[in-house]
């Protein structure tokens, strides 16, 4: 079983915006690995930006809402490449438990 299989069955809602480079990077990674997710454009979906800020205390994107309960940051600002797929998978799986 591949690590990507660990993400199957999780409801992933990616809060993002079209102008955001980290959002595009996350979207490309998820799509490239065949990870099912829904996009929530914070500029197009009424209340989405407010929900994100109210529940995370952050204005940064992308964030992933896992199973409607737990938020995971969709970028790794401390890393030069801004996204580590293995680390992201660990964080998403942990949030889904």
Q: 9 is in which domain, residue-wise?
A: 3-90
**Residue at 65 is within a domain:** yes
CATH number reported for the structural domain that contains residue 22 in this entry: 3.40.30.10
Give 42-73 as a DSSP string: TTTSTTHHHHHHHHHS---S-EEEETTTEEEE
Determine the pLDDT at residue 90: 93
Indicate the Cα dihedral angle 29, 32, 36, 40, nearest 10°.
Answer: 50
H or E segment and range at residue 19? none
Number of domains in the chain: 1
Determine the pLDDT at residue 8: 87
Mean pLDDT split into 10-residue runs, the chain, 97 residues: 78 97 96 95 97 95 97 93 92 93
**Residue at 95 is within a domain:** no
């Amino acid at each position: 079983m591949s690590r990507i299989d660990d993400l199957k069955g999780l409801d992933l809602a990616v809060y993002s915006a079209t102008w955001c480079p980290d959002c595009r990077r996350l979207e490309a990674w998820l799509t490239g690995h065949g990870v099912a997710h829904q996009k929530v454009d914070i500029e197009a979906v009424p209340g989405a930006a407010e929900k994100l800020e109210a529940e995370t205390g952050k204005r940064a994107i992308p964030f992933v809402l896992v199973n409607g309960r737990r938020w995971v940051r969709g970028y790794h600002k401390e890393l030069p490449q801004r996204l580590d797929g293995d680390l992201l998978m660990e964080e998403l799986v942990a949030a889904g438990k």
